[in-house]
Structure 1
Amino acid sequence: MKNIRLFMFAACTLFLAACGRQTVKIMTPPDASNRVLFGAEQLQATLDRAGYQVMMQQGDTTFSDPEIKTILLTEVNDTTLKKEGFHITTTGNLTRVSGRDGSGVIYGCRELIDRVNDSDGRLNFPEELKDGPEMVLRGACVGLQKMTYLPGHGVYEYPYTPESFPWFYDKEQWIKYLDMLVANRMNSLYLWNGHPFASLVKLEDYPFALEVDEETFKKNEEMFSFLTEEADKRGIFVIQMFYNIILSKPFAEHYGLKTQDRNRPITPLIADYTRKSIAAFIEKYPNVGLLVCLGEAMCTVEDDVEWFTKTIIPGVKDGLQALGRTDEPPLLLRAHDTDCKLVMDAALPLYKNLYTMHKYNGESLTTYEPRGPWSKIHTDLSSLGSIHIS
């Protein structure tokens, strides 16, 4: 009996405390996208921590109670806003967050979140603010590679396994990492690996090419699906990097080939395997793109052009066709050991969502001076008609 009285007292205390908190209503349309709903959830969590009583309402977005602080989240077809841009207006007790797209709503919510956190929990919202990212792709790189070679493998060859990358299978840590990217307004995550496809997809024509056991493959399917879906609702593309031309170890052994050859010619078999690997990857996982390193393994620059335009781009298009999609995922060409201009001149008529990329790190600075020749690479690549990433 004593325990029951204590429980009732505690419940009443919590109820009265809640009643004493200011109420904030967050409203979203009935057809709100996953990104709008994610922005609302992030804003709700921040307001909860700041001590507000938060009401969530999806459906009717009519502002009907001027006594309650209300935040309305919507996507709008406002061409004055940049892609991923937002417009915040506050009139009385109503704050509208209008995004050019779902990502714009997320970034508008992040603006409100930052203002709550920076003002000791006060609802210090702007009367009017338009903003949006200046850089089209903003992201971080995570290496699925190691500092030592795996037994029986060469450089860059690291199948996705719990033994090599136990952290890759930690969903809770990925959620924290993705939320960190969103908080920093990043919209891309780059996974760096030599030949990832044989860890992530099965090919009907080459079932023996799979590089991991069945149990690990199922874990990889689950993890990559989880990662890409969670990234998608945060407005983040998962961009998988790979080198050319690397073959899976089982595929190479089946045909009596090497996994890598620095002077490897393009053959119909290798091109078919790679094209089908890319198509299966694009078809299977949502919100993914590719970062392609043509250099080092190709014989000539002409081979680079052929490989990019006749194997890689067709593979992406095959995957999109299988999905019935026409929107092109980002395809990044790494400007390492290749003639980027020659490749891009041939590729841009075939595919529009193309980017070039050149790294700025110790290796690049030992090859090129920070000014002069090194700087010219970046300025030249930025003038090709696509977007350049440093």
Structure 2
Amino acid sequence: MTDILRSWHLHGMSMALLCCATSLPAKEVTIAAPDSPMLRYAAAKLESALRQRGEAARTVRPDDASARPDIVVRTPAGEGINPGPEGFRLARRDGRLYVLGGDERGAMYGVLEVAGQIRLGRHWSKIQERTVKAQFPFRAIKFNLPWAAYRTSPAIEQHDATCRDVKFWEAFLDMMAENRFNVLTLWSLHPFHYMVRPKSFPEASPFTDAELAEWRSLWRRLLAMAKERGIETYLVNWNIFVSPEFARAHNVARWSETWRHIGPDPERSEIVVRYTREVVAQVLNEYPDLTGLGITLGEQMGGMTPDERRAWLDRTFFAGIAGANRPVKFLYRAPLSADVKSGGTTSEENDRRTRAQIESLGKNITGPVWVEFKHNWSHAHSSPDLFMVHGGKLSDAYWNPPPTRHKIVWTMRNEDFFVLRWGQPDFVRAFLQNQRKDYVGGVIIGSECYVPALDYITAPGPHKTWRFAFERQWLFYAVWGRLLYDGATADRDFAALLEERFGAGLGDDLLQAWKLASQAPLHFASFHRGTWDGSLYTEGFSSWVDRGDGKRTFFDIDSFIKHPVLDTKRYINIADFVKAGGVAEAGKFSPPALAAQLERDGAEAARRVAAVRAKAKPSPTLECELADIEAWTAYASYFAEKLRAGVALATARANNDPKQQALATAALEKALGHWKRLAELGGRFNRLPVLSNAREPFSWALLTPAVERDIEISRQPLGNRKENSAPKP
């Protein structure tokens, strides 16, 4: 026993002797905790949890001589106890529960853990001893703001009022703290004129003094609430943009007037350099609770070489930070292009030059620089292994030799399922297992095309017991956040969260059903390679564009046969499989084997759903989640039959075989039935069609005619086709 624990033991004995001197009525639970913003927040959550269980509670300062605390919170943890930064130790001694934090944030997480265990039904005096150490220091959510938004579409703009509501941010930040996220990244093409009136360029502001005061109040409240929950905040922008008013006043960067987010015509004027430098410094000075900044070397930098882009960054952002009156942290998004274009390209030389700039960063930039990459471009919910970043393959230049000035963070984008819920902790575990490297600092999760604010998807009714969009995807955030913080978080912990919501005895079946159902989109996005955001919308079996006619394109049977896979370690596409004589390399899913796996997973998920329903009549809210599980199983069945159809049709075309053609048609007819079931389940509790970043709204029912056309394609005469079975490059 350490000296500090021995002193607690002796102190506890003396307290026990005093208590035995007289018989006292049951007393309230007393929490002794240091007075700090994070611990005040956590103690309030603990008091609330105790009261929900019928126990009175109050929090006192540790030096309150009259208190006889039942729960003692201390930070730092003390001699001989080292849970590390953000970690905590729970220990029981002499009838007391001790929460020992490695630092203030770790103590907060320890108190929140106790509150969570109490909500799950465990008495505070029976909470198990444990030590938890934070797995990654950077556990972030990407939140695209609806003002000066990356995409100007009704799907994004509809969130404006919700994102100006402090109650929304309070609820969102509570969720983040509960799931141990510690960084909120706020993304906008140019957020700065919503925060300050630039001193040297007042013409850049579109607001009256009263309007700007409202914006400032919102920003300050948001940043303060994040800070008291142990959440760092970063503003992340794209370049080069200015406010619309500044663009008009000085005839520069005129694309900023419409927020056209990508183009080939760079802005090189000196006044834009001055404006950017000064507005960066002013924002940092006026918002001391803002943790840091992040940048994107694109999208309106087309026409500039990579060296010119880095030089512009030196003269603007880094000069502005150096001129601010305080240090900040920095998120450096790795260049999206290694040439003068606005699209995606990579090169080792550009990687090395970017690393050199990062390593040279000095004045007012504190801590490691977080260097960000998109894992598997915009479709991270695919393979746990890395096959590409934005633009292509990534060299090892950022971590070979080992860095001392920066750490890598991976953005795990979700552009693949917005309507249907998802929760697969095994996928997250497999991904994180690959990241156990000294140079990896953490992960950002989130979307470009989906804002988790206004719930515009769920239909009204007794099933809807929540207000905001992120609340319907609660399991997604719980799985990612808790595993990023504590890699030892077990399935039983997620099952307990499901039981807290839906009733005792249901957790294991529900979790297993979610895990099996959630495999289907992972298989598809691994089998059907996506790149930029709209190239793949997994749950819709389609792609979309946000320019021109804004068309949505269903993946018909012809494109499905030929399209390349993402995960070349585990999958082979249909064209290559047929060309190889129906043989796949060892360790790879052949298309027929993948179809069989999808059906097995779907059948077991359905069995688990039936087991849940057999135990008790589900609440409307639970039925809403069960419908999503069943929708994924219908999706898996559709995918499986389309795989079989694709193999049969490609074989029929290669061999002029009408029997294989008939098998293909039959499989597609079965697939149509599964699609119609998916459309029914997807719309059962939702308001479909929903707005999307394509001009066309989305629903499965709207795509049913395209599904039916696959059957027509399969019936086309075999001899009239000239096939190239090679996959697209």
Could you list the per-position Cα deviations for residues 13-33 of structure 1 after superposition, in whole angstroms to 9, with x for gaps in the alignment?
A: xxxxxx97652111123xx32
Measure how far apart 1:157 and its partner are. Answer: 7.1
Measure how far apart 1:234 and its partner are. Answer: 0.4
Which blocks of at least 5 consecutive residues in structure 2 are unaligned? 1-23, 256-262, 339-349, 411-729
Could you list the per-position Cα deviations for residues 93-123 of structure 1 after superposition, in whole angstroms to 9, with x for gaps in the alignment?
A: 2222222222111111122122222334453
Residues paired across the two proteins, number: 352
Structure 1 SS opposite 2:264? coil
CA distance in 1 between counterparts of 2:208 and 2:55 reads 50
Q: Please, what is the CA RMSD of the aligned residues? A: 3.3
Aligned-partner residue type, residue 216 of structure 1: E
Aligned-partner residue type, residue 234 of structure 2: I
Cα 1:120–1:197 shift into 2, 3 Å: same
Does residue 52 (structure 1) correspond to residue 55 (structure 2)? The answer is yes
Could you list the per-position Cα deviations for residues 243-290 of structure 1 after superposition, in whole angstroms to 9, with x for gaps in the alignment?
A: 111111111111122334633254432111111111111112213322
Q: Which residue number corresponds to residue 232 of structure 1?
A: 227
Q: Which residue number corresponds to residue 88 of structure 2?
A: 86
Matches within 5 A, 1:180-191: 180-191=175-186
Q: Which residue number corresponds to residue 164 of structure 2?
A: 169
Cα 1:26–1:297 shift into 2, 3 Å: same
Q: Which residue number corresponds to residue 295 of structure 1?
A: 298
Fraction of identical pairs, as percent: 20
Q: Which residue number corresponds to residue 136 of structure 1?
A: 137
Cα 1:76–1:303 shift into 2, 3 Å: farther
Cα 1:155–1:91 shift into 2, 3 Å: closer
Choose which of 334, 344, 347 in structure 1 pairs with 2:358. 347
Does residue 241 (structure 1) correspond to residue 256 (structure 2)? The answer is no
Structure 2 SS opposite 1:202? coil
Cα 1:242–1:170 shift into 2, 3 Å: same
Cα 1:123–1:308 shift into 2, 3 Å: farther
TM-score when normalising by structure 1: 0.79
CA distance in 2 between counterparts of 1:264 and 1:358 reads 23
CA distance in 1 between counterparts of 2:228 and 2:337 reads 36
Measure how far apart 1:89 and its partner are. Answer: 2.2
TM-score when normalising by structure 2: 0.44
Measure how far apart 1:197 and its partner are. Answer: 0.5
Aligned-partner residue type, residue 287 of structure 1: L
CA distance in 2 between counterparts of 1:193 and 1:335 reads 17
Aligned-partner residue type, residue 180 of structure 2: R
Query: Any conservation in 2 of the 1:241–1:291 contact (CA below 8 Å)?
Result: yes
Measure how far apart 1:62 and its partner are. Answer: 6.3
Measure how far apart 1:137 and its partner are. Answer: 1.3
Could you list the per-position Cα deviations for residues 215-251 of structure 1 after superposition, in whole angstroms to 9, with x for gaps in the alignment?
A: 4322110100000000000011122111111111111
Greater Cα offset, 112-121 or 239-248: 112-121
Aligned-partner residue type, residue 315 of structure 2: K
Structure 2 SS opposite 1:123? helix
Aligned-partner residue type, residue 288 of structure 1: T
Cα 1:378–1:144 shift into 2, 3 Å: farther
Matches within 5 A, 1:191-206: 191-206=186-201
Cα 1:49–1:21 shift into 2, 3 Å: farther
Aligned-partner residue type, residue 25 of structure 1: T
CA distance in 2 between counterparts of 1:107 and 1:295 reads 37
Aligned-partner residue type, residue 336 of structure 2: H
Aligned-partner residue type, residue 284 of structure 2: I
Does residue 356 (structure 1) correspond to residue 351 (structure 2)? The answer is no
Choose which of 300, 308, 314 in structure 2 pairs with 1:309. 314
Measure how far apart 1:126 and its partner are. Answer: 3.1
Does residue 377 (structure 1) correspond to residue 382 (structure 2)? The answer is no
Query: Any conservation in 2 of the 1:333–1:354 contact (CA below 8 Å)?
Result: no
Could you list the per-position Cα deviations for residues 343-372 of structure 1 after superposition, in whole angstroms to 9, with x for gaps in the alignment?
A: 23212232453111122467467xx99654
Cα 1:373–1:363 shift into 2, 3 Å: closer
Q: Which residue number corresponds to residue 247 of structure 2?
A: 252
Higher helix content, 1 or 2: 2
Choose which of 378, 389, 409 in structure 2 pairs with 1:389. 409
CA distance in 2 between counterparts of 1:137 and 1:178 reads 16
Cα 1:188–1:204 shift into 2, 3 Å: same
Greater Cα offset, 368-377 or 280-289: 368-377
Q: Which residue number corresponds to residue 42 of structure 1?
A: 45
Query: Any conservation in 2 of the 1:332–1:354 contact (CA below 8 Å)?
Result: yes
Structure 2 SS opposite 1:358? strand
Measure how far apart 1:184 and its partner are. Answer: 0.4
Q: Which residue number corresponds to residue 337 of structure 2?
A: 337
CA distance in 2 between counterparts of 1:168 and 1:361 reads 29
CA distance in 1 between counterparts of 2:224 and 2:270 reads 34
Query: Any conservation in 1 of the 2:240–2:266 contact (CA below 8 Å)?
Result: yes
Measure how far apart 1:188 and its partner are. Answer: 1.1
CA distance in 1 between counterparts of 2:268 and 2:240 reads 9
Which blocks of at least 5 consecutive residues in structure 1 are unaligned? 1-18, 147-152
